[in-house]
Chain A
Amino acid sequence: MHEEIIISGFGGQGALFAGQLLAYAGMDNGKYVTWIPSYGPEMRGGTAHCTVVISDEPIGSPMVRHPSAALTLNLPSMEKYQPLVKAGGLLLYNSSLVQSQATRADIRAVGVPANAISQEETAVLLGTHGDARLANVSMLGALIEATGLLTLEHLENALAAHLPERHRRWLGPNGLALRRGAAIAAEALGAGVPTS
């Protein structure tokens, strides 16, 4: 197993944390992992991305030109990474923010209404209409379902272990967002309802 994943979005959408979560889950399950962020003179609202490699073998390059999967949380990210995904690879895009459809026929593409899922799952705790803070995690759920890379439990364990103390109350909603993302991918890819 060797997956090269790019996660990209606006600053604040949690692209970097989602990547760390994936790396933790991989590491906790005996895989070799690397996580490397884009860094630079970034500004709030600018784009941020990270590259995560998860492998059964020691990892050479932590950077990739053509990822096997791209999680794109906004339109600029989708436009940037759709052409770069490896043939046969996976493109996940946040269909709450991206109105257009994927155009490549040689990759698997799934739109995940990540913001909508997040708003619904955060509404109770926030006592409002909810917000988009779980969009990143619902996309991770779709990634797990679509690739078979790790399991939802692996991700949930990583969340439980690494979610900062001040965010503990979000553990439950995170789990729900994760599973709803997975269900969307399962339905879109015709793989049935996720069993895990």
Chain B
Amino acid sequence: MTKDLWKGNEAMAEAAIRAGVEAYFGYPITPQTELLEYMARELPKYPGRVFLQAESELAAVNMVYGAACSGVRSMSSSSSPGISLMSEGLSYIAGTEVPAVLVDVMRGGPGLGNIQPSQSDYFQMTKSLGHGDYHALVLAPATVQEAVDMTYESFALAEKYRTVVVILADGAIGQMMEPVELPPWRQPLTEAERPDWALRGANGRPNRVLTSLNLTAEGLEESNLRLQARLAEIQQHEVRWEEEMTDDADLVLVAFGTMGRICKSVLRTARRNGLKVGLLRPITLWPFPSERLHELAGQVQRLLVVEMNAGQMLLDVQAAAAGRAPVHFYGRMGGMVPLPDEVEEQIELLMREGTTRPYAAQSSANGKLPSLPTRVSHPVEGSRHDNITTY
């Protein structure tokens, strides 16, 4: 099959359509908007499928919830601040045990932040997507092809485990173009294929109830136990990661998504320079490849975690390593992307001095706490309209 050049956001939308998504609800936000735009243009071309731009992220996620309850393959997408707004609805979806797919094209935070690529939603996505005891299954693509394949597969995973599946991309994956081979067409579910729990009208049969509300402690504990059993199944069957040159490595880089692919450049340079460096790239962030990392930590001298955040996956790596090897960290924040030469420098430092040098120590702040700005603005260089800038 021939490849074509696709922008990440549009490619994910096309993959979802090919996977048979029947309902998309969303609200525009950079750097994810092309996904919604593509859906707006393409999805209505297929009879019976629905695109709807909601009035807010809150509305969008609850529309997904409703569609999912009726057994309809549905999804939404957003970027960091928009995902925060969806937290409540996602928790309801999880509590009701219905399938849904969500794409998060991460941008710099906290707050309104900016629109540059970031990985600072790791905690939120893997630990705290909403209130209550649950996890979403979180997939982190490093290429546009992987983003396509994951989006395509995510519906089957969501339906199999009746869970929320998150494609955790970032602004770089969303905005970049790469050659992509698109997956084959899958038809939406037929009426006969709808799940036996779906609310489709109770004419001629006993009614069904889907809710996350359970007012007795015994009853709610029971549904929690059922949910936990399903999460345990996911942990058992769905852990994924990629390894490169870890066999003889002294130092193993651990990085996901865009940072994972950047570390592949680092790896090649390091090997050319005779340094025994390997890479473990977690593909599922939840469930996390903890067991494999635990093993690796027992056979290497050091682990170096590199992230576009202040050190979030770092905690999972530390827990997995359990003291068997020192775990080091290098990261940039606010939409800054560590480039290969920066990471290479940290590796050299580690080899020479046994420690990394945090970016803060190199910046003008020099580790000291700078005074807080007294006025907050969102300037646009050269703009006459910086008071009406929208993101």
Q: Given that A20-B177, A41-B380 are contacting pairs, would A62 and B172 also be in contact in the complex, using a CB cutoff of 8 Å? A: yes
Is B340 touching A34 in the complex (CB atoms < 8 A)?
Answer: no
Is A34 touching B262 in the complex (CB atoms < 8 A)?
Answer: no
Interface residues on A, range: 20 to 34
Is B115 touching A41 in the complex (CB atoms < 8 A)?
Answer: yes
Is B261 touching A65 in the complex (CB atoms < 8 A)?
Answer: no
Q: In the complex, A62→B114 CA distance in Å?
A: 20
A 32-58 contacts with B by CB, 8 A = 32-37, 39-41, 43, 46, 58
With a cutoff of 8 Å between Cβ atoms, the chain A residues found around residue B262 in the complex are 60-61, 63
In the complex, A81 has a CB within 8 A of chain B? no
Name the residue among B116, B177, B340 with the largest chain A CB count within 10 angstroms: B177
Q: In the complex, A41→B177 CA distance in Å?
A: 20
With a cutoff of 8 Å between Cβ atoms, the chain B residues found around residue A24 in the complex are 5
- B243-283 toward A: CB 8 Å interface, digit per residue (1/0)? 00000000000000000011111111000000000000000
Is A39 touching B115 in the complex (CB atoms < 8 A)?
Answer: yes
* Interchain nearest-CB distance for A47 vs B (Å): 9
With a cutoff of 8 Å between Cβ atoms, the chain A residues found around residue B179 in the complex are 27, 32-33
Q: In the complex, A175→B44 CA distance in Å?
A: 38
- Nearest B residue to A37, CB-CB: B175
Is B178 touching A33 in the complex (CB atoms < 8 A)?
Answer: yes
- Nearest B residue to A38, CB-CB: B175
Is A63 touching B115 in the complex (CB atoms < 8 A)?
Answer: no
Q: In the complex, A32→B3 CA distance in Å?
A: 11
Which residues of chain B have a CB within 8 Å of any CB of chain A?
Answer: 3, 5, 30-31, 114-116, 171-172, 175-179, 261-268, 337, 339-341, 380-383, 389, 391
Query: Can you report 19 A-B residue pairs in the complex whose CB atoms are below 8 A from each other?
Result: A23-B177, A24-B5, A27-B3, A27-B179, A33-B178, A33-B179, A36-B175, A36-B176, A39-B31, A41-B391, A43-B382, A43-B383, A60-B262, A60-B267, A60-B340, A61-B265, A62-B178, A63-B262, A64-B339
The 9 closest A-B pairs by CB, nearest first: A60-B265, A60-B264, A36-B176, A35-B177, A61-B262, A61-B265, A27-B179, A41-B380, A65-B339
